[in-house]
A and B are shown apart, each in its own frame.
Chain A
Amino acid sequence: MIIAIPIEKEQFDSTISTTFARSNYFAIVDKSNGKVQITENLFKDIQKGAGIKLFHWLIEKQNIDALLAFEMGYKMQQMATEASLQIIIINEHSKTLNQLLEYMNINPKTAFSS
């Protein structure tokens, strides 16, 4: 299972972004082999339709099958439901990427070396 996680900074101790489509970076976590890849969000400065473009990029280029977010827009949620992706909504955005990886039993040191 590949999960897209929106994060504020390009670091493993970064907190989860409160917005989904306009977050600064994305962590693409592959739960099956424990690999994590952090990429810049190329669509965050687009004035209109950032969510739709980002969604297609995540689906086609990153092959994700789950989204993790603190809060996401209604369009993003509709698209994710239609594409039958799993949506995970966390309760606090103060959680860091490290803490989430810990939940998923992924060691950040081995994940980052990929």
Chain B
Amino acid sequence: MPRPRQKSKIQSPPRAKAFMPVGYYKQQSDAIQLKIEEFEVFRLLDYEGLTQVEAAKIMQISRSGVARIYEKARFKLAKALTEAKKINIEGGENMFDNNWFECERCDSKFNSTDESKIGACPLCSSQNIHQINE
């Protein structure tokens, strides 16, 4: 049995939960599951422009681990774009840097500064919040 994957650290949860192709599709083809750590590697390397060594340090995994995840992320994105598939961003072996919460009233995300529970959204003071975990 292979050893379980090392958990990678995620700085902030992805903004969107899924992406959908636009066009003539009567029948929705099955979706691509993009893991959160694959999204994070893609973001760090291509959006922030970091090197693999720097990204590995942030995510607390090995450099070669970053390269492996990046390879998978690129293949999945290319496949989704070519075959016009929906991309779901969820799951994977990861943990968040902070405790992240989402407010359902103003749709903002925020972290908790200490371990204690947060009762209300710091922006709109709404109590309709939920923790983002996964």
Contact A86 B123 (CB under 8 A): no
B94 → A minimal CB distance (Å): 16
Knowing A68-B123, A81-B98, A84-B113 are in contact, say whether A89-B108 is a contact too (CB < 8 A).
yes
Q: Check B123–A81 contact: CB distance below 8 A.
A: no
Smallest CB–CB gap between A86 and chain B, Å?
5
Q: Which of A65, A74, A91, A104 contacts B107 (CB 8 A)?
A: A91
The A interface is mostly helix, strand or loop, or mixed, namely mixed
- Interface residue A38 (Cβ < 8 Å from any Cβ of B): no
Q: Do B110 and A87 have beta carbons less than 8 Å apart?
A: yes
Q: A80 to B89, alpha carbons, bound, how many Å?
A: 26
Alpha-carbon gap, A3 to B110, bound state (A): 13
Residues of chain B at interface, number, CB under 8 A: 22
Determine chain B's interface SS by DSSP, over half rule.
loop
Q: Which of B75-129 contact A (CB under 8 A)?
A: 97-98, 106-114, 122-125
Of the four ranges (under 10, 10 to 19, 20 to 34, 35 or more), the interface on chain A belongs to 20 to 34
The digit string for A79-114, where 1 denotes a CB below 8 A from any CB of B, is: 001001111111110000000100111000000000
Chain A residue with Cβ nearest B47: A71
Interface contact B114-A84, CB-CB below 8 Å: yes
* Interface membership of B15, Cβ < 8 A: yes
Determine the chain B residues whose CB is within 8 A of the CB of A66 once the complex forms: 122
Tell me if A77 is interfacial: C-beta within 8 Å of chain B.
yes
Q: What's the Cα separation between A1 and B110 when bound, in Å?
A: 14
Q: Chain A 22-36, CB within 8 Å of chain B: the 1/0 string?
A: 000000000100000
Interface centre among A1, A73, A77, A85 (most CB of B within 10 A): A77
The answer to whether B110 touches A100 (Cβ under 8 A) is no
Tell me the A residues contacting B by CB distance below 8 Å: 1, 3, 31, 65-66, 68, 73-74, 77-78, 81, 84-92, 100, 103-105
**Inter-chain pairs besides A81-B98, A86-B110, A90-B106, 14 sampled, C-beta below 8 Å:** A31-B122, A65-B113, A66-B122, A73-B48, A74-B11, A77-B12, A78-B11, A78-B58, A84-B114, A85-B113, A88-B123, A89-B110, A91-B15, A103-B123
